[in-house]
Amino acid sequence: MCVRFPARSSAPSGTRTERLVLRPLRASDVERDYDAVMASAAQLRQWSGGDWPSDDFTLAENLVDLERHEREHERGDAYTYTVLSPDEARCLGCVYIVPVWPLAVPLCGSAVCAACIGFWVRASEVANDLERHLLGSLREWLGTDWSLDCVLFTNYVEDARQGALLAETGLLRLPLGWSDGAAGWAFRMARPRTAERTAGRKALVREALRTPRPAGVYGIRNAASGKTLLGSSLDLPGILNRQRFQLENGSHPDRELQADWNELGPGGFLFETLDQLKPSDAPDDDLPEDLRVLKAMWLEKLATAGVPLYPRSSRGA
């Protein structure tokens, strides 16, 4: 099943409330955006499930990110909106609207047009309840001004505050998990459905909760150079979702991979399951150790074949 992403011609120019202005992010916003990012660094590392922004993140690096987001917005590949104060003098946060990646499509049910949403607000604005105000504004805006019949608000477990805020909304909550210590949720917002379809969504949640996740070794391969990020996980769909989300949002911890992604775009990479562990009910199985051995075998195999690797391949990516 495939779901559409809204075309550039249908993407709204933004919205305004009594507390904020939402409009497309531009490279010219770099200084205001950088100020908000670095003032919220610790909070953003929880939000992104990684180490973005690093303590030594520079204004020049931020400009590269903003230029990429602006190009993506113009092409209709993804839409990034800056959150500004009502007078537009100060950046208060950011909103990312990206296509639903293939492994998350089943969470969209029978939706025809869908998107994944990530958002954050400046750390100093959390106490002012701006995050809750932004979420409410987004729900209204996405439900009225966009041609979407499904929205997935994604949340890493590290950001427990935002997860709790999303849970308060009563949106359908679908589990997303990663075996490297990260776990989270997709909070689904859909247009009103019939009782039959509502029952189908509940069945989808129950099935997702009881279905074992495949464990094994994966690769993210640069189609042009063959360079590969090699990793292992107890939840292959979950970790691949997370890797793609980080790359699409410019927050991947492997800077070399992120730089190549920024240059080549999503079409320049292949997300591959290279090997899987066989399911076992044996209580004494040590799956983490089995994964460690399996990944070591693949590291040796790729080295023998002369395949270049991204740096974090040796760090349990």
What is the tens place of the pLDDT at every residue in 175-205?
765 334 556 788 999 765 433 444 554 555 4
In this prediction, residue 314 carries a pLDDT of 86
For tokens 């890493």, the residue is: 156
Residues 234-258: tens digit of each pLDDT: 888 878 877 887 888 788 889 999 9
Q: HSE on the CB side for 61, CA within 13 Å?
A: 15
pTM: 0.63
SS3 of 23, please? strand
For residue 233, which of 213, 247, 248, 251 has the smallest C-alpha distance? Answer: 213
For residue 168, which of 148, 150, 190, 153 has the smallest C-alpha distance? Answer: 153
- When mean pLDDT is compared across 25-34, 44-53, 282-291, 293-302, the lowest value belongs to 282-291
SS3 of 272, please? strand
Yes or no: say if 138 and 152 are a contact pair by the CB < 8 Å rule: no
Q: Print burial letters for 14-36: b (CB count within 10 Å at least 16), e (below 16).
A: bbeeebbbbbbbebebbebbbeb
Q: No. of H helices and E strands in the chain?
A: 10, 11
Residues 5-29: tens digit of each pLDDT: 999 999 999 999 999 999 999 999 9
Q: HSE on the CB side for 312, CA within 13 Å?
A: 18
Q: What is the largest CA-CA distance in the chain?
A: 62
Task: Provide the β-strand partners of residue 21.
Answer: 16, 84
| DSSP H or E stretch at residue 68 | helix 59-75
- What whole-number distance in Å separates Cα of residue 79 and Cα of residue 99? 9
Q: What are phi and psi of 113, to 5 degrees?
A: -130, 120
Residues 96-153: tens digit of each pLDDT: 999 987 777 888 888 999 999 999 999 999 989 999 999 999 999 999 999 999 999 9
In this prediction, residue 1 carries a pLDDT of 55
SS3 of 210, please? helix
Output the average pLDDT for the chain. 86
In this prediction, residue 212 carries a pLDDT of 61
Note every long-range contact of 277-285, with CB atoms under 8 Å and residues 24 or more positions apart, other chains counting.
277/215, 277/216, 279/212
Q: HSE on the CB side for 1, CA within 13 Å?
A: 14
For residue 153, which of 68, 22, 245, 52 has the smallest C-alpha distance? Answer: 245
